[in-house]
């Protein structure tokens, strides 16, 4: 129903019923809401965004490296004592460039030993880039401002390197904890890894499976229905909430075009209420308006009461929110009293476990 048609209807009703303009407009508004609301609520998503083929399971790679350029916040090692693995790594690095430095004279406060981890698609070709995660292995206070030295990455212990990683570290803004410190010993490097060699790549067969990124029986059934409607009955069947089995009859042109057609199909995804909590900076992300039922959670020196009827001032360490409060309200109240990020995550997990929060809680 177009805007011009709506205005015409309002004008017609108003002319026929003088003095009833508000009633006419209200009736038309209700009709529009009734007709448009289902369309607005329906969230159409591509099948390719919900699934991966079983041959495209990401391959994990790992490496050991050094972060350099720190401002005195690296591993504490003086005269060969402290983080000896960091000292030895620096000695080996310099030796590769023909520089010999005795370990006992090295001071590594500007260097930190780190573990580098990543996931790469099995179909990524040499020259492709992907993101890496970096985490301190020693007693460094902070990796902020550091640069990862060129680090070999392997997908199997003892295997030759398949990629290298390097680059400037990125991390969230530090959030002070009750002790006055912030956790800055992990970071990431977007597109920091470069693939050097081809990864093991399984072949795609006509009886391949589509694996749901987030298993859900409703979505699996809708995906199978959409595929069967597009490509013929019995092309797809649901094996379980996380898998849809494909049986493709016509594969003369190969499976790639078939998978491309399937990936482009759209379904109305079933919305799943989720709350995502970042334990590093306390960020809380919620999908939609999710309310929290009455409950009391005590964690450490903090007590959260939802639905309290008390009128006196809260005591130190006590947080109160009204009944029917949303996840956003609870998060704002916890942030207002300076609750640490791990405490916020533990509180939301506890609310979910006792049934006061009807949403899946994911902590990262």
pLDDT at 113 over 70: yes
Residue 199 DSSP class: P
Phi, psi values for residue 25, rounded to 5°? -65, -40
Shared domain check, 145 and 235: no
Shared domain check, 136 and 118: yes
235 Cβ partners below 8 Å, 6+ apart? 227, 228, 246, 247, 248, 249
Distance CA 102, CA 312 (A): 67
Residue 53 placed within a domain: no
Shared domain check, 242 and 167: no
In the prediction, which pLDDT does 151 show?
A: 92
Are 170 and 190 spatial neighbours (Cβ–Cβ below 8 Å)? yes
Residue 27 placed within a domain: yes
Shared domain check, 171 and 77: yes
Shared domain check, 146 and 224: no
In the prediction, which pLDDT does 288 show?
A: 65
Shared domain check, 178 and 222: no
Q: Which residue has better confidence, 64 or 173?
A: 64
Residue 48 placed within a domain: no
Write down which residue in 173, 195, 217 finishes a domain. 195
Distance CA 254, CA 234 (A): 19
Distance CA 211, CA 220 (A): 9
How many CB atoms lie under 10 A from the CB of residue 266? Answer: 13
State both tokens at 242.
């996380």
Distance CA 188, CA 39 (A): 39
From 108, 104, 120, 100, select the one nearest 67 (Cα to Cα). Answer: 108
Q: Which residue has better confidence, 334 or 172?
A: 334
Ranking 41-45, 222-226, 284-288, 318-322 by mean pLDDT, the lowest is 41-45
**For the whole model, what pTM was predicted?**
0.62
Distance CA 175, CA 340 (A): 8
Domain span holding position 22: 3-41
Write down which residue in 233, 250, 268 finishes a domain. 268
Residue 51 placed within a domain: no
Are 271 and 264 spatial neighbours (Cβ–Cβ below 8 Å)? no
> How confident is the model over 88-115, as a mean pLDDT?
75
In the prediction, which pLDDT does 75 show?
A: 83
Q: Which residue has better confidence, 243 or 36?
A: 243
228 Cβ partners below 8 Å, 6+ apart? 234, 235, 236
Please give the span between the terminal C-alpha atoms of the chain, in angstroms, as a whole number. 45
Helices 217-231 + 255-264 axis angle, to 10: 120
∠ Cα 106 163 184 (to 5°) = 50
In the prediction, which pLDDT does 104 show?
A: 62
State both tokens at 316.
């130190």
Q: Which residue has better confidence, 103 or 234?
A: 234
Are 321 and 331 spatial neighbours (Cβ–Cβ below 8 Å)? no
Write down which residue in 177, 195, 213 finishes a domain. 195
**Model confidence pLDDT, tens digit, residues 197-238:** 988 776 667 678 899 988 889 999 999 999 999 988 889 999
Are 135 and 146 spatial neighbours (Cβ–Cβ below 8 Å)? no
Shared domain check, 95 and 185: yes
Residue 334 placed within a domain: yes
Residue 52 placed within a domain: no
pLDDT at 51 over 70: yes
Residue 359 placed within a domain: yes
Are 59 and 199 spatial neighbours (Cβ–Cβ below 8 Å)? yes
163 Cβ partners below 8 Å, 6+ apart? 61, 118, 120, 130, 152, 153, 193, 194, 195, 196, 197
Helix (H, G, I), strand (E, B) or coil at 167: strand
What share of the chain has pLDDT > 70, as a percent?
A: 77
Residue 46 placed within a domain: no
**Model confidence pLDDT, tens digit, residues 17-40:** 555 544 444 444 444 444 433 333
Total domains in the fold of the chain: 4
């Amino acid at each position: 129903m177009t805007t011009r048609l709506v205005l015409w209807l309002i004008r017609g009703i108003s002319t026929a019923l003088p003095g009833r303009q508000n009633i006419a407009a209200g009736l038309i508004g209700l009709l529009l809401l009734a007709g448009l609301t289902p369309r607005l609520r329906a969230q159409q998503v591509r099948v390719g965004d919900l699934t991966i083929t079983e041959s495209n399971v990401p391959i994990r790679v790992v490496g050991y490296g050094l972060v350099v350029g720190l401002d005195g916040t690296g591993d504490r090692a003086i005269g060969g004592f402290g983080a000896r693995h960091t000292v030895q790594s620096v000695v080996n690095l310099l030796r590769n460039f023909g520089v010999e430095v005795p370990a006992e004279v090295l001071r590594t406060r500007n260097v930190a030993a780190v573990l580098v981890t990543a996931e790469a698609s099995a179909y990524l070709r040499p020259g492709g880039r992907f993101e890496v995660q970096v985490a301190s292995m020693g007693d460094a206070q902070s990796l902020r401002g550091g640069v990862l030295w060129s680090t070999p990455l392997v997908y199997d212990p003892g295997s030759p390197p398949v990629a290298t990683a390097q680059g400037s570290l990125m991390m969230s803004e530090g959030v002070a904890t009750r002790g006055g410190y912030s956790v800055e010993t992990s970071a990431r490097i977007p597109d920091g890894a470069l693939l050097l060699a081809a990864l093991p790549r399984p072949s795609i067969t006509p009886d391949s499976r589509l694996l749901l990124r987030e298993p859900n029986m409703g979505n699996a059934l809708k995906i199978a229905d959409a595929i069967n409607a597009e490509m013929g009955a019995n092309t797809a069947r649901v094996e379980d909430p996380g898998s849809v089995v494909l049986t493709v009859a016509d594969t003369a042109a190969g499976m790639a075009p078939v998978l491309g057609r399937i990936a482009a199909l759209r379904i109305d995804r079933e919305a799943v209420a989720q709350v995502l909590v970042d334990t590093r900076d306390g960020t809380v992300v919620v999908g939609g308006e999710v309310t929290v039922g009455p409950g009391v959670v005590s964690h450490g020196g903090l007590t959260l009461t939802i639905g309290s009827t008390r009128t006196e001032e809260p005591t130190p360490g006590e947080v109160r929110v009204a009944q029917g409060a949303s996840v956003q309200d609870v998060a704002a109240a916890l942030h207002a009293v300076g609750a640490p990020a791990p405490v916020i995550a533990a509180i939301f997990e506890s609310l979910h476990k006792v049934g006061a929060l009807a949403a899946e809680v994911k902590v990262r």
